[in-house]
Amino acid sequence: MTRLLSGMSLILILAISGCSSESNTNVLENADQAKIDAYNKQAEEDAKALGGYDGPK
C-alpha cells in the first residue's frame, strides 16, 4: 500500500512540475524552411493516401 501511495505521489509531483512551466515553446521557431517544406510535402502525400477518408463515423 505504501508503494502505491509513493508511486502516486511521485506521479503527482511530476505532473505538477511539468504543468507549471511558465514559458511557452514555439516548435517552428527553430525550424528551417527545408524542414517545413518536407513536412508539408509529407502531409500532402498522407492526405492523398487517405483518399478522402474522414475517420470512423
Cell numbers given for 32 = 528551417
CA distance 3 to 18: 22
What is the four-CA torsion angle of 31, 34, 36, 39, rounded to 10 degrees? -130
Joined together, the cell numbers standing for residue 8 give 502516486
pLDDT tens digits for range 8-20? 888 888 777 666 5
Q: Which of 4-13, 20-29, 30-39 has the lowest mean pLDDT?
A: 20-29
d(CA 30, CA 51): 32
